[in-house]
Amino acid sequence: MMDFLTNDLLQLSDSAVRNATPLLLACIAGLYSERAGIFDIGLEGKMLVAAFAAGAFSAFAGTSVADGGWGMGGNAVWIGLGAAIIASTILAMIHAFASITLRGNQLISGVAINFFAAGITVLLGQYWFKMGGQTPQLREGQRFDSITLPFARELQDVPVLGQIYHDLISGHNILVYLGFLVVAITWWVLYRTRFGLRMRAVGENPSAVDTAGISVVRLRYSALVITGILCGLAGAYLSLGTAAAGFGKDMTAGRGFIALAALIFAKWKPVPALWATLLFGLLEAIGNRYQSVDLGFMVLPGQFMQALPYILTVVILAGFVGKAIPPKAGGEPYVKER
């Protein structure tokens, strides 16, 4: 029993944190967009494009000049991260143009972005690398390595607390810690700044914001820029911060949608978003670790375990865990009264 607690539970929690990070970043990305009144079904596509840009540009930058790369050595990973943020933000701005400026259908725009991402990543990947849509395996310096926090080694033999510190809290890459930081910053921005107040207002009652002489269009565009940046981080994590160490076709695997479900579960609030995504991360960890589960009277097959996060998403959306009320103006294009 002690063994289970110390090893299995710690390992599961550790993978839960790793799995939760891209969900968390995408979830907070969706929070900015939806709090400002813009539905964003396209989180998935933005993450996918970001993951691809990160994998591709980190590979370019990290390859030596002699081999046709840019020879940037250990800085390559930052080039990858930058490319991810730019790629994702471009898509976010297309979504903004379609839904804010042209007042088009936000769901349709998001769906289009997802398909575009699924296609363009493989097309460009095949054209650039000829590896069936994958990007080359990233080496050290081209990806984010885990960080050992101070004293983690010294404390690892201290029972329970030391173990938790060493195994669970220490030893992640920088994006994991950034994810937690983003939650704190978002809380502060949302509830303690003027921008946050206005953003929340624009998602509930844009005409009131407009009457106060504040530009609805500018606020919504700003919110979507943040969405783009955060989706960029989420995508970059998948190709630069996981064992995949490179981009693989359709590697987001529905995470953008799960992040949306987590956002609803969290009732569009940053701190609950952290718990919601950790829960999904834990489910994914369980599904990966236990290929099939024997319940005594029946055996749950591996496919069921893999589908667990999707099933939970449906259960959450069904509101069996409390009613969620979305921002009132969500999905409605704002038309200035004349």
Please count the residues of this chain forming the interface with another protein, following the rule CB under 8 A: 45
Determine if 227 is a binding residue for another protein (CB under 8 A). no
Sketch the per residue contact string, 127 through 146, with another protein: x for CB under 8 A, - otherwise. Answer: x-----x-------------
DSSP string for residues in 6-51? IIIIHHHHHHHHHHHHHHHHHHHHHHHHHHTT---TTHHHHHHHHH
- Coil, helix or strand for 223? helix
CB of 113 to another protein, least distance (A): 7
Residue among 175, 240, 261, 283 that touches another protein (CB under 8 A): 261
- Greatest pairwise CA separation for the chain in angstroms: 70
Question: Which alpha helices (DSSP H) does the chain contain, by range?
Answer: 2-3, 10-35, 43-62, 76-96, 106-129, 152-155, 161-163, 174-192, 194-204, 206-211, 216-240, 255-265, 270-289, 302-317
Determine if 112 is a binding residue for another protein (CB under 8 A). yes
Judged by CB under 8 A, which stretch of 15-23, 178-186, 208-216, 312-320 contacts another protein?
312-320
Determine if 23 is a binding residue for another protein (CB under 8 A). no
**Cα dist from 31 to 69, 196, 251, 333, whole Å:** 37, 12, 22, 18
Determine if 120 is a binding residue for another protein (CB under 8 A). yes
**Cα dist from 40 to 191, 208, 219, 267, 326, whole Å:** 22, 23, 16, 15, 13
Judged by CB under 8 A, which stretch of 52-60, 78-86, 217-225, 258-266 contacts another protein?
258-266
Of residues 40 through 69, those in contact with another protein by CB under 8 A are 41
325 CB neighbour count, 10 Å cutoff: 8
Judged by CB under 8 A, which stretch of 78-86, 175-183, 186-194, 311-319 contacts another protein?
311-319
Determine if 224 is a binding residue for another protein (CB under 8 A). no
Neighbouring-strand partners of residue 143: 140
Give the Cα separation of 133 and 310 in Å (integer). Answer: 26
Determine if 98 is a binding residue for another protein (CB under 8 A). yes
Residue among 124, 131, 152, 217 that touches another protein (CB under 8 A): 124
Backbone angles phi, psi at 105, to 5 degrees: -75, 120
- Coil, helix or strand for 126? helix
Residue among 116, 165, 180, 187 that touches another protein (CB under 8 A): 116
Decide whether 144 or 334 has the Cβ nearer to another protein: 334
CB of 95 to another protein, least distance (A): 9
Decide whether 45 or 179 has the Cβ nearer to another protein: 45
Residue among 5, 74, 119, 146 that touches another protein (CB under 8 A): 119
Amino acid identity, position 242 = T
Q: Would you say the C-alpha torsion 78, 83, 88, 92 has a positive or negative sign?
A: positive
Residues that bind another protein in the complex, under the rule CB under 8 A = 41, 94, 97-99, 102-109, 111-116, 118-120, 122-124, 126-127, 133, 254, 257, 260-261, 264, 301, 303-304, 306-307, 310-311, 313-314, 317-319
